[in-house]
Amino acid sequence: MRTEVRTTANMNINKNIAISETGFVFNPLTGDSFNTNRVGQEILRQLQKGASIDDLYKHLTDTFSVDKATAEKDLADFFMVLKSYQILIEV
């Protein structure tokens, strides 16, 4: 079963988040924080640059040598985490 991820045209990334080089992510609006791995850091940085979903899939498959189905599932899972921390907000 394919997992769908909505395009970033329907979502905004919280521009106030801070991401350290070690993967510590802090949302100053809520005070929430969590750690992420290198893949999560890349996704967040690409979102901050305004990357589209297709851009993210390409970046993940090219940079981390994963197939598109894996990238789609992992991105959908990570987006759920970002939404729970109010870092990715549906508009």
Q: Find tokens 């988040």 and name the residue.
A: 17
What whole-number percentage of the chain has pLDDT above 90? 68
pLDDT of residue 14: 87
Reported in sequence order, the residue ranges of 11-74 that DSSP labels E, i.e. its strands, are 11-13, 18-19, 24-26, 33-35
Whether the predicted pLDDT of 74 surpasses 70 = yes
**CB within 8 Å of 55: residues ≥ 6 apart:** 46
Residue 90: its H or E element: strand 88-90
- pTM, whole model, 2 decimals? 0.83
